[in-house]
Amino acid sequence: MADATLSPAPAFSGPLAAAPQPAGATGVLVLASGDVAWGRGFGAEGQAVGEVCFHTAMTGYQEIMTDPSFAGQIITFTFPHIGNVGANPDDVEADNPHALGMIVREDVTAPSSFRAVERLDGWMQRHARIGLSGIDTRALTRRIRSGGAPNGVIAHAASGEFDVPLLLAMARSWPGLEGMDLATSVSTQMDYGWDGGVWRLGFGYASAPPPASGRGGEKRPHIVAIDYGSKRNIFRNLVKAGAKVSVVPATATYDQIMALAPDGIFLSNGPGDPAATGEYAVPVIRALLETGKPLFGICLGHQLLGLAVGATTTKMFQGHRGANHPVKRLSDGPDFGRVEITSMNHGFAVERGSLPANVRETHVSLFDGSNAGLELTDRPAFSVQYHPEASPGPQDSLYLFDRFVEMLG
C-alpha cells in the first residue's frame, strides 16, 4: 500500500512554487507545464528526460520496457500492480530496456511467480532505468488524455535531494519526439541471421529450423528485415511461419539489401518520427517496391511504407499504447468487418485522407477511427499499424505472418 503522505491528491501540485516536497519522497516527476508529482524512487538513481505516455496493458511490463519503440519515452502504467511477478531473462524484446523509466501506482513487491529470477526494481537498477512509485497514475493518465503526451523528467535520489528548477528547465528544453529520428540509435549496427524460435511454457525458446530448409525439407523463403528498432517476437513468428530471416541496419542501402538475394522484405517497428527516419529510409523502400518483391511492415514500418507511396504521417495527440485495442478489417473478403483485439504502441499515424489511389485501407482503429493497415493494389506490399506479434498482448493477428510468408512462394 502506498504511503498516504506520498499519494498526491490532487495528482499534481500545480505551479512549481506550490509544490512542497513531502517527507520521505525519494522520487519526482516534473512536467514541462510546471506540474510536479512526488513519490518514491526505485531502480537506478539519476534523472531522465523524455515524453511521458501511458500504457494500459495489465501484463508484460518487461516486454514493454525492452521494446525499442519506447526509446525517448517514460511509461506510466495504468495497471496498479506492476512488478508483482518479478523479472526473468525470457520476457524481453531486446538485450536492454529502451524506455527511459516507469511510473507506477503501488510499490514494487517481492515477486510471486515460479518464473521470476529477480525483483523488478533490481532488474531496473541493473539496467540503469529509473522507476517512480506512489503516483496517482489514473490522474496522470487523465492529464495526458486531456492535454496530450507532455515532455517531462523523472528523477530518483535516495537522499531525497532534488534541484526541481533544474529538472523543470530540462523538461522545457527537451525538443520532443516530433522531428526526431531514433531508429539509428536502436538499430543493429551489422547484418546478422536470426536463429531463434518462439517461446513455449516448459520448453523455452525453440531452436530455429535449419536456415536453408523448411517443412518437408523444401527451401525456406528468405526475408531481409530492415531493423528500425525491431522486437524479437516478430522475427520468431516469421521463422515459425516458415521463413529464413536476415536482419540489416536501418541505414542499409538498396544494393546492400539486394546483395542478400531476398525473396521478400520486412520493415520493422521502431521509435521516433517516421518523417525524420523517412529521410533515408523512404528512398530505399521505394526502390525495393520497384522490384516487385513482397513487402510487409509493422508500426514504424507501416508508417514508412505509407510515406514511400505518397501518404503523410502526423503526430497523434496521445498515441495508442496498450494490449486491448480493437481494430476492424476492411478487406479480406469474407473476413470483412471482423474485429481483432490488438497490441499497439505508436505516437504517430498515417493520415487516412492522404492515401493515394493505388493504396487500399485494410484496417481501422475502432477507438478513434485512425488508420491501422494498408495494402498496395499494384504491388505485393501491405502493412499494419499494430503489433501482430503481441508480446505482450492478444494473438488475434498472427495470421499476418503466415500471409506474408505464403506470398513469397
Cell 508529482 belongs to residue: 37
Distance CA 222, CA 239 (A): 10
Distance CA 30, CA 154 (A): 7
Cell 549496427 belongs to residue: 189
**Catalytic-residue membership of 340:** no
Specify whether the CB–CB gap between 381 and 375 falls below 8 A.
yes
- Select from 167, 186, 172 the least CA-distant residue to 232: 186
Specify whether the CB–CB gap between 373 and 335 falls below 8 A.
no
128: left (phi over 0), alpha (psi -120 to 50) or beta: left
> Quick check: bond before 392 cis, omega within 30?
yes
Distance CA 21, CA 132 (A): 15
Specify whether the CB–CB gap between 269 and 340 falls below 8 A.
no
Distance CA 163, CA 82 (A): 28
Total Cβ atoms within 10 A of residue 10:
11
**Catalytic-residue membership of 53:** no
**Catalytic-residue membership of 387:** yes
DSSP-derived 3-state class of residue 362: strand
Among 156, 299, 302, 346, the one annotated catalytic:
299
Specify whether the CB–CB gap between 366 and 202 falls below 8 A.
no
For residue 204, what is the DSSP state?
E
Extract the C-alpha cell encoding 132: 517512480
If you write DSSP's letter for every residue of 317-332 in order, what string do you get?
A: EEEEEEEEEEEEE--S
Specify whether the CB–CB gap between 245 and 263 falls below 8 A.
no
Radius of gyration of the chain (CA): 22
Q: How far is CA 326 from CA 9, 144, 270, 329, 365, in A?
A: 33, 21, 21, 10, 6
Which strand (E) or helix (H) includes residue 264? strand 264-267
Q: How far is CA 123 from CA 87, 110, 117, 293, in A?
A: 7, 12, 10, 42
Q: Which residues belong to the active site?
A: 299, 387, 389
